[in-house]
Structure 1
């Protein structure tokens, strides 16, 4: 079990340093550091044991074997790969770097993506959830700060309504406070009893269905504009060899989900307008000249207003819940004249949120079970407790009937579920406040994949280690455990990894400065 670097108790600190000194005094200390470098910095590395075999790629002949008993600690350490920064900062840092490349290559090209995509129209759209009740918020009408991350602008009053009175539960329906950016009240309802917690968790749960329908509506809007302007459909060949007519434009997207303080997700989406090559369906070609970024902007707004999904019936809501986008749909154009929205800024923004989950709400837990749910859910508790309770209650088994009464060993055959509850997934995702989707998704044609980036990194490391190109390493490994053997090992490995990360950052900064000087001199 690994431990954080913070030294909270003197006794624990003394034991940790004693373990670290014992490890540093061993003869193979530097060999151990090199051996654990692949997992260094990971808070909970995976420990594996078994055999590594070197195999000729052409013949399959085994030319060498290495058992983990011959390695330091008799194990192989592998990073956990967790994307959440709150769980493993080091693995999340690697994931964020890959996410940055996935997003940016779709805007500028590179890594098998043609550079011509940089000339395609692109918009950066934000789709928000609707209101489920009034919450405390911080609104700045006009920013005068130098950086939004350190905004010190004076906000407007929260809910300045002098004639609002009280709600039906006797609580004030107004708030005149000017909330600070770190005010814990932000995102909390003005009245917990007025707030529709059930609708919010259902919206989180069903938002994954809302997005693909919205994208289809955007493409239909663009196809209609092409028809109005006389831009003909394209004859394209399908995978089955059939020829069919398709619209001359399509939309490729990269999407990140962000959890708001109130516990509702909203989506940041990059939408790139592509054309269609009749001879190669996978080719990335620019759209027809008659379709511009103005058409893409208008199509996004029209689709956001148009799409609504009604969820299946539930005993607590026989007509289901309506699921639609909120009124705030923000669309910005990449590379606009104001220079505020650039490809690098957008890629960094989306990569940052790809490593986050529910931490902004104040809740961070693993998957909840019937043994742990009572510690978090409470129908009469605070905002988060009521959201989690809504997930658990709506996801309960709902449709049962008795199918038999035969006595077997004194035990009666009981009632069984005959119709699954379509909301049963809410219990699985109660720790995510109902949202069970991926936090970073993209269209197949948008850019490169995470798998390609990982394979490229592995190939580079093999070349760096001077492994023969005609041999493969095949591992027959089994799981031994998770986490460092002790706190001292965690301290040494994490410190060494932090130094390596700092060295890489400094190297990139120096390289960027050198490139800037070279370009300036030219």
Structure 2
């Protein structure tokens, strides 16, 4: 593991009034154990190794909850395996190595999620314009941007603006339509009138909640979240088959390729590459934003990305996606609560836009990349629920079959998985007559089916267990490539270009014998000092960038 020796904040020679660290001062030793955050920070800054500590924690200085690793780092000769050097973390500040947590969720760690969002932006946009090893010709491949939504499970409070006059949708203050304005006096079986005349604001907590909590089919929504990944897989297969069938109808010949044993094989002349981001809606159900790109097939290099044959354009992709979303669906396995299974299919609100690079179409590559990268760092925060993976000890905190909308959804996930459930209703502890206990007894009467067991693992995600950003193999670059390029850049910045030879085989190997010893900063003062230093470094870099742009202009 290579650690940077650059100061966290700018030197006094490059920016007036700043320094790598303050001059040590004499302070009482008990300040380090004080409950006063200011005294803790002064005690840390007064230590002789404060400058070395700042340099040591720089890789994770902006992280909210870094990982602490302890052990030894060995340098080995690659050719012979001879041990050249060995260093222990006991000789480093705090006796550990700080590594960023790498969490993609913005609510968990803003710094690491911002880095993940930037990488996701490049992964998505590279598949549309090329670069970083992807041919630049992909910018001319037909590509569309479809949105796949979930079906309606019941009427919920919504905010609909038919005509926007705002400049930014994120700060929209336009006048919405009434939520569910009705003249009739229809009521549900529980006596709740199914109407709402309120014009909800963006901050209204009622958005996404059902008009009647007792009528809402929470089990069906939880199972749909669980089966959304399988529905997406079946949809991609259907879109591929539609396009290949269309190529045959239009007389586009198949491509002859060679198998590994030298045999000639006929393959379709077109194939599709996908990129997908999942977004959690306020009602607690996911929908997908995807990128579908049309590629050709190289007979001599099946892994190459080549232009598609003429005769199929982006409008054919739109037709293929519309056909797949209208026809694809499946029925889940039987469950004791529903012996016939649940039907999993897409909703009616589907929208597909054509992507262009020149900005002449419905949506540009930059807009699509920024949109998908934004949702790659989000999860269930919009529903008001944030928690780690639930266990038998923590399920009672977040699940309640008679509670709020999200609590009922978590309870549905837990009960459908046939796990042990303790009903929180006071009267039900002795009589066991509430609907949750009746459903639990019915579930225990039949064996558990494998697919629904996963609902327990993903109850904290309201049943959705898929990745929030995925792509097909040939669509674009990988996150690992971006991380490797970042490591090479940092090592080049430290050693100098003349001392770095990335094209040659390394003569030494760095082998880490490290183990996890904890997470988070040791004290709140350490967190404050590290985060402040990282913020100062970011501000200095931003000022330098603006200054260089001014000189260039």
Please give the alpha-carbon distance, in whole angstroms, between the structure 2 residues aligned to 1:38 and 1:239: 45
The equivalent residue for 1:109 is 130
In the alignment, what sits opposite 1:395? 417
Gaps of 5+ in 2: 1-32, 421-443, 501-505
> How far did 1:513 drift?
7.1
Q: 2:401 aligns with which of 372, 379, 382?
A: 379
Is 1:58 matched up with 2:58?
A: no
CA contact (8 A) 2:130 2:139 kept: yes
Contact 1:237/1:281 (<8 A) preserved? no
TM-score (norm 2): 0.84
Matches within 5 A, 1:224-243: 224-238=245-259, 241-243=262-264
- Quote the residue 2:233 is aligned against: 212
| Corresponding position of 1:4 | none
Change in 2 beyond 3 A, CA 1:240/1:168: farther
Q: Report if the CA contact (8 A) 1:254-1:443 is conserved.
A: yes
More off after superposition, 105-114 vs 238-247: 238-247
Give the corresponding residue for 1:496.
533
| Alpha-carbon shift at residue 237 of structure 1 (Å) | 3.1
| Aligned-partner SS, 1:272 | strand
Q: Which residue of 2 aligns with 1:307?
A: 328
CA contact (8 A) 2:354 2:361 kept: no
Deviation at 1:56, TM superposition (A): 2.6
Change (3 A) 1:365 1:112: same
Tell me, in whole angstroms, the C-alpha distance in 1 between the residues paired with 2:448 and 2:405.
Answer: 31
Give the whole-Å Cα distance in 2 for the aligned partners of 1:310 and 1:416.
22
Q: Which residue pairs with 2:302 in the alignment?
A: 281
Tell me if structure 1 keeps the 8 A contact 2:353–2:362. Answer: no
When residues 252 and 504 of structure 1 are mapped into structure 2, their CA distance, relative to the original with a 3 A threshold, is farther
Pairs aligned (count):
489
Counterpart position of 2:375:
353
Partner Cα distance (1:211, 1:502) in 2: 42
> How far apart in 1 are the matches of 2:363 and 2:551?
25
Which of 245, 265, 275 is residue 254 of structure 1 equivalent to? 275
1:248-286 alpha-carbon deviations (Å, 9 max, x no partner): 111101101000000000001011111111111111111
Change over 3 Å in CA distance of 1:513–1:108 after alignment to 2: farther
Change over 3 Å in CA distance of 1:105–1:196 after alignment to 2 = same
Classify 1:164/1:215 alpha carbon distance in 2 versus 1 (closer, same or farther; 3 Å). farther
Contact 2:333 2:449 in 1 (8 A): no
Contact 2:418 2:448 in 1 (8 A): no
Segments of structure 1 that go 5 or more residues without pairing to the other structure are 1-11, 399-414, 518-522
SS of the aligned residue for 1:363 comes to coil
Aligned match of 1:432: 461
- Which residue of 422, 425, 448 maps to 2:477? 448
Matched, 1:367 2:400: no
Q: How far apart, in 2, do the equivalents of 1:322 and 1:418 lie?
A: 21
2:451 partner SS:
coil
Deviations 1:198-239 (A, max 9, x none): 100000000010001101111111111111111111123345
- Mapping for residues 299-338 of structure 1, pairs under 5 Å: 299-335=320-356
The normalised TM-score by structure 1 is 0.89
Q: Which residue in 2 is equivalent to 1:423?
A: 452
Q: Does 1:457 align with 2:486?
A: yes
C-alpha RMSD of the superposition: 2.2
Matched, 1:47 2:76: no
Compute the displacement of 1:500 (Å): 2.7
| Aligned mates of 2:146, 2:546 — CA distance in 1 | 31
For 2:293, what is the secondary structure of its paired residue? strand
